[in-house]
Structure 1
């Protein structure tokens, strides 16, 4: 794709973000440097955040999958509310190779303020150091811990939702499949924010002409999937617990919301997954935001971002209240 081919389609209110976000040149050689740069950027962003005195946050290490290290989680609990409250298990984005639980701090606190839930953010192990199934098993360990310890946390074990953005959205979809198949934890909702679902996108012969120019590119996508799978993406033997789009049966999954921008590399795989969920009888909302590239809600004051945030908060609130 030639540079600039989709610029005329970008929502003007989010255009400025492209000047701030560095292009992700992800290789084995640049990965450590990219992680350090993004971590520093995130730390700076977190310093200027508003206070949320009605929410307590604590770091905790919980038992990981069998034979694996403990998993770090951040536990967010609303103060001065009648318990038990519903809960959201949150899985951060970063292409399976970058990011940490701390980056969603403002988002977690905003969700808690709007819905009255508790939240647990998972610091799953990253690829390529930990390929599949390590990341999704870390998330399952955190979900199982949340469910098992619900009463001591003041959480209603019958009202647990899972959610995440980008690779975290992909892990959320995989975790929903794994949780359905293991039958140990009931889930009421899956919040899939521009989820990374299908490794076969990397090898498609017919790429979308206007997606993936900004933030998360085909090159970054190829690197992320290769790191997670430990092999070339698009091959025949990829588990649906690694790439949820590979699942042949989507019946019995929790209700879902999928939201994505029209310029996001994941646009078509997200639309297709929503179509298949609906066809499998899973109550599903699909929202497509014109002019949105990957991670556009970072510009929180833009109208298109406010629409997205309002849509997913409404869906979460309904899910928590219905159950």
Structure 2
């Protein structure tokens, strides 16, 4: 499906404002400084019942982890909980870049959202971020009642690299016999270090996130690590016993095929899985819901599925 003129203009504007990672910009610190220096867009924060910043214990011997807890405008005293990991190729982005998206998720899903500021590469390569995500999941399950959460209704969610970390946290929870994860919401997840899908060749350039960006992100995150670990690439995981999943992909995303491959992997083990490809869309589109009607529709559907899954638990 061809991109609409509105979508094409948004993609071109986003690409023009983004550092040329992997070519002109090779240093992660420089990339973060360039992104931070961009003039902020006017944003009117979505109202919530409460937003709280906390610091929780990191994995053994590791630094503490900042988290941000979003309480939706709901009447229930005890709510389901979603652990959210932001995207950014394991290198960029943080709690603030995904703040508006987490606010929307909380209100539309009716769940408490705990956004996790995991350690970033290359200063902290794999498995630091994966360990942080699982440590946060364990902490949430143990402490949810303190902030009005129900640990029996616990989900993981993430976009792009955060989708990788959400999937990996669910795998670690299965492997370590807890905490119990009821659902995983994976938005165009970043899963395949080999970059072998046809979508990499079809969408390598011209759609905001490029193949060069993605290669560079994997280099920062993995270094010389063996990429066959299922905690680095969930495509290498045994899918048996993993929680139900809702996976979103986009037609013009280099990551499209790996997200759909993971959906098929889960389904092969009889894990209830929904896969939704959005035609005419690109990587990262769901966080641009204030500018893109298609993103509004995708978010509404995804967060409704999240709400329904956590009501069933």
What is the TM-score normalised by the length of structure 1? Answer: 0.89
Matches of 1:246 and 1:289, distance apart in 2 = 25
Whether the aligned pair in 2 keeps the contact of 1:24 and 1:216 (CA below 8 Å) is: no
Q: Is 1:226 matched up with 2:226?
A: no
Report the equivalent of 1:256.
245
Report the equivalent of 2:266.
277
Unaligned runs of 5+ in 2: none
Report the equivalent of 1:145.
139
- Partner of 1:9, secondary structure, is coil
Matches of 1:279 and 1:126, distance apart in 2 = 32
Change (3 A) 1:206 1:299: closer
Change (3 A) 1:253 1:293: same
Change (3 A) 1:243 1:262: same
Q: Is 1:266 matched up with 2:255?
A: yes
Report the equivalent of 1:158.
152
Matches of 2:305 and 2:211, distance apart in 1 = 30
Task: Please identify, of 186-195 and 69-78, the stretch whose mean Cα deviation from structure 2 is larger.
Answer: 69-78
Cα displacement (A) at 1:296: 1.8
Q: Name which of 210, 220, 230 aligns with 1:240.
A: 230
Q: Give per-residue Cα distances to partners, 1:242-284, cap 9 Å, x unaligned.
A: 111121x101111101111111011111111111111111111
Cα displacement (A) at 1:319: 0.7
Q: Give per-residue Cα distances to partners, 1:286-307, cap 9 Å, x unaligned.
A: 0001111111234424342222
Matches of 1:304 and 1:57, distance apart in 2 = 27
Report the equivalent of 1:106.
100
Cα displacement (A) at 1:111: 1.5
Q: Give per-residue Cα distances to partners, 1:125-179, cap 9 Å, x unaligned.
A: 0011101110011111111111111111111110011101010011111111111
Cα displacement (A) at 1:80: 6.3
Computed over aligned residues only, the root mean square deviation of the Cα atoms, in angstroms, reads: 2.0
Whether the aligned pair in 2 keeps the contact of 1:85 and 1:154 (CA below 8 Å) is: yes
- Partner of 1:262, secondary structure, is strand
- Partner of 1:200, secondary structure, is coil
Whether the aligned pair in 1 keeps the contact of 2:127 and 2:232 (CA below 8 Å) is: yes
Change (3 A) 1:67 1:50: closer
Summarize the alignment of residues 55-74 of structure 1 with structure 2, pairs less than 5 Å apart. Answer: 55-74=49-68
Cα displacement (A) at 1:208: 4.6
Q: Name which of 22, 25, 30 aligns with 2:20.
A: 25
Q: How many aligned residue pairs are there?
A: 307
Q: Name which of 43, 49, 62 aligns with 2:44.
A: 49
Matches of 1:9 and 1:211, distance apart in 2 = 13
Matches of 2:154 and 2:97, distance apart in 1 = 22
Report the equivalent of 2:305.
315
Matches of 2:75 and 2:63, distance apart in 1 = 34
Report the equivalent of 1:34.
31
Matches of 1:206 and 1:80, distance apart in 2 = 43
Matches of 1:178 and 1:143, distance apart in 2 = 10
- Partner of 1:192, secondary structure, is strand
Whether the aligned pair in 1 keeps the contact of 2:246 and 2:302 (CA below 8 Å) is: yes
Report the equivalent of 1:212.
204
Whether the aligned pair in 2 keeps the contact of 1:211 and 1:267 (CA below 8 Å) is: no
- Partner of 2:98, secondary structure, is helix
- Partner of 1:93, secondary structure, is coil
Matches of 1:63 and 1:298, distance apart in 2 = 28
What is the TM-score normalised by the length of structure 2? Answer: 0.92
